[in-house]
């Protein structure tokens, strides 16, 4: 059984004349433990689909048709509380704007501690060693320096890796990455992509990667789902068997 299945999804914008569809008839499925790339031309609906999956569509937008099945359950009509729980416990979305998710006037340590405290009961020692472990996992060789820093003291790429460490502390089953590496330089881009691959394998994490970076897609994804069509409303699935796998 697929872990996540999107069936004939239609997302519309509310206008005085009624709902106008922005994307229509989007269908695909993702199996547990896969890294799947979602690709397609700009504006075809990749980000909207990701936002719909985690219940973060803007107020003016709505799912007007179709289903989103997670572990067999249709989550389309979840209320705010259930979506919040889903995002905390099951499906995390990392987007460029996540960079703004850090509080500029609180040191990284406090922010990471709070995130873990909110979501899991563990001792202070356990929490502190988990935080360091996560920062090392995302490529910081001196986590203590990062923990003392304020967000404004870090580069965009470093802040993104901190956000990623915070999201990983939630131990999501599914990680949706919307253009996760655009703020990073080439070295960190490759490092972060290798990290995602490692997480996929080590934790059997399921990853949905939205990216325009052909290199990332070809090198790291197991499967590619392509949105095609004039209005960004078609899709098909292609197994990336011809690509070099890492």
Ligand X SMILES: Nc1ncnc2c1ncn2[C@@H]1O[C@H](COP(=O)(O)OP(=O)(O)OP(=O)(O)O)[C@@H](O)[C@H]1O
Contacting residues toward ligand X, per CB under 6 A: 13, 22, 40, 42-48, 58, 60-61
CB of 241 to ligand X, least distance (A): 25
CB of 52 to ligand X, least distance (A): 9
Written as six digits, the tokens of 66 are 């179709």
Kindly tell me the sign of the dihedral angle through the C-alpha atoms of 3, 194, 108, 112.
Answer: positive
Smaller CB separation from ligand X, 40 or 143:
40
Spatial contact of 94 and 177, defined as CB atoms under 8 Å apart? yes
Query: How wide is the angle at C-alpha 98 spanned by C-alphas 97 and 100, nearest 5°?
Result: 75
Helix axes 186-202, 156-168, angle to 10 degrees: 10
CA–CA gap between residue 100 and residue 98 (Å, rounded):
5
CB of 31 to ligand X, least distance (A): 23
Smaller CB separation from ligand X, 34 or 235:
235
Spatial contact of 200 and 12, defined as CB atoms under 8 Å apart? no
Kindly tell me the sign of the dihedral angle through the C-alpha atoms of 169, 171, 177, 182.
Answer: positive
CB of 13 to ligand X, least distance (A): 5
Spatial contact of 50 and 37, defined as CB atoms under 8 Å apart? no
Smaller CB separation from ligand X, 79 or 97:
97
The 3-state DSSP class for residue 81 equals helix
Smaller CB separation from ligand X, 60 or 242:
60
Smaller CB separation from ligand X, 9 or 115:
9
CB of 178 to ligand X, least distance (A): 7
């Amino acid at each position: 059984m697929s872990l996540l299945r999107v069936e004939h999804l239609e997302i519309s914008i509310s206008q005085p004349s009624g709902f106008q569809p922005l994307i229509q008839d989007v269908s695909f499925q993702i199996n547990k433990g896969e890294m799947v790339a979602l690709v397609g031309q700009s504006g075809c609906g990749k980000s909207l689909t990701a936002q719909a999956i985690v219940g973060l569509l803007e107020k003016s937008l709505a799912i007007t048709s179709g289903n989103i099945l997670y572990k067999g359950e249709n989550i389309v009509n979840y209320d705010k509380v259930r979506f919040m729980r889903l995002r905390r416990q099951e499906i995390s979305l990392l987007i460029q704007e996540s960079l703004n998710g850090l509080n500029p006037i609180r040191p990284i340590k406090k922010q990471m501690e709070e995130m873990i405290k909110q979501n899991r009961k563990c001792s202070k020692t356990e929490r502190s060693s988990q935080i360091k472990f996560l920062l090392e996992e995302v490529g910081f060789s001196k986590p203590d320096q990062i923990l003392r820093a304020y967000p404004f003291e870090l580069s965009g790429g470093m802040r993104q890796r901190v956000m990623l460490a915070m999201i990983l502390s939630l131990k999501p089953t599914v990680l949706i990455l919307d253009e996760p590496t655009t703020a990073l330089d080439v070295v960190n881009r490759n490092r972060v992509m290798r990290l995602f691959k490692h997480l996929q394998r080590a934790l059997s994490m399921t990853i949905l990667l939205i990216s325009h970076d052909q290199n990332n897609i070809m090198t790291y994804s197991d499967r590619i789902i392509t949105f095609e069509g004039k209005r960004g409303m078609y899709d098909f699935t292609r197994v990336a068997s011809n690509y070099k796998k890492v």
